[in-house]
Each structure stands twice: as C-alpha cells, then as structure tokens.
Amino acid sequence: MLARMSSRGAAEGMRRHRSRTRDLAERRRTLVKLLIALFVARIVVTITEIAESGVTWWSLLVTAAIGIEAWRAWNVSRAARAHPDAPPPPPLPDTAWDRMLRPLERFGPASLYAFAVLYALAYLALLAAGASRDTLVDVAVAAREVITLFFLFVLIAGYRSVRAAR
C-alpha cells in the first residue's frame, strides 16, 4: 500500500510539472546525456567568449536555455532512477526522427566532450600564438553557432519523435 501511495504521489507530481522536455526525457532517457554534454560544450565556449569580452546577452540566454533543458531532463532521469519499479516507457515508433536520434544518443555525448576539449586546446593554442582578438572571437562565435544549431536539431528531432508516439 505504501509503495502504491508513493508511486501515485510521484506520478501526480510528474503530471503537475509537465513540459515537452519532461515528455522527451521520459520517453528518450538516453537523450539526457546528450543534453548534458551540449550544456558542458556550450559552457566551455561561453567561458572563452567572456574571456574575450565578446559575450552577448543572446549568447548568455541560449546558454541558460540549454542549461535549463539539460537540468529538466536530468531531473526526470533522476526521478526515474529513484522509482525503478515504475514501468518503462512504451517503445517509440520507428520514424525518420527516431532513426536520426539513435546514433546521436549513442555517440553524441562523447563527440561533444571531444569537441569541447579540442575547442579549448585550439583556443589556447591560438591565444599562445598571439592571434588577434578578432580571430579568437570568430572562433568562439563559430563554435557557439555549431553547438546552438546542434541543440536546436536535437530538441526538434526529439520532440518530433515523441510526438509521433502519441
């Protein structure tokens, strides 16, 4: 009885805070690692932007948005681990969106961490070589835009793959 009450309370709490990101994280639990890796890579780029004083409010807003989405997804995965007796989500239908996301979920986090490390090393190498401030800002902007576009693709593809399951 106690287990039933606690799972009912958890389910009610989850329904109260419904969002697209929560639905996405519940249905595609492996996407959480990818969102966290995106946030880490974006933080690395934002730090170098701040160092060069090239950071804009828009850049900080996008970094915060990625952080919020990663935090929400992490909360869902943490709640799922806290209730291991909960039934697993139903399988997603095999759609083009699902097929695009499967390799990203598997190889994306490691690739993003490698991207962040390589970016930081390239930035430090350019800094040590005495590259101009404009060059450093251009490199940071290019990396920032790549991460932002990747984040948007992941969210749109994830939402579309979950939407097809409804």
Neighbours of 149 (CB within 10 A): 10
Distances (CA, A) of 128 to 3, 33, 42, 53, 69: 59, 33, 22, 18, 35
What's CA 123's distance to the chain center, in Å? 23
Q: pLDDT per residue over 92-121, tens digit each? A: 777 888 888 888 888 989 999 999 999 999
Q: pLDDT per residue over 84-94, tens digit each? A: 776 666 677 77
Mean pLDDT for all residues in the chain: 77
Q: What is the 3-state secondary structure (H, E, C) of 89-139?
A: CCCCCCCHHHHHHHHHHHHHHHHHHHHHHHHHHHHHHHHHCCCCHHHHHHH
Residue 67 half-sphere exposure toward CB, CA atoms < 13 A: 11
Residue 138 near residue 129 (C-beta atoms within 8 A): no
Residue 56 half-sphere exposure toward CB, CA atoms < 13 A: 8
Mean pLDDT over residues 21-50, rounded?
A: 79
Across the chain, how many H-helices and E-strands are there?
6, 0
Q: What value, to the nearest 5°, has the Cα angle with vertex 106 and ends 104 and 108? A: 45
Q: Which helix (H) or strand (E) holds 76?
A: helix 57-82
Give the pTM.
0.73
Percent of the chain exceeding pLDDT 90 equals 10
